[in-house]
Amino acid sequence: MSTWQNEHSFRSWVWANLVSATLAFFLPLSPVERAVILALGLLILAAELLNTAIEDAIDYISTDEHPLAKRAKDAGSAGVAVAALAAGVAWVVILIG
Task: Confirm if 36 and 91 have CB atoms less than 8 A apart.
Answer: no
7, 33, 48, 65: which is the annotated catalytic residue?
48
User: Is residue 44 within 8 Å of residue 78, measured between CB atoms?
Assistant: no
Cα(29)–Cα(88) distance, rounded to whole angstroms?
A: 16
d(CA 61, CA 63): 7
Whether 7 is catalytic: no
35, 53, 6, 80 alpha-carbon torsion, rounded to 10°: -40
Residues forming the active site: 48
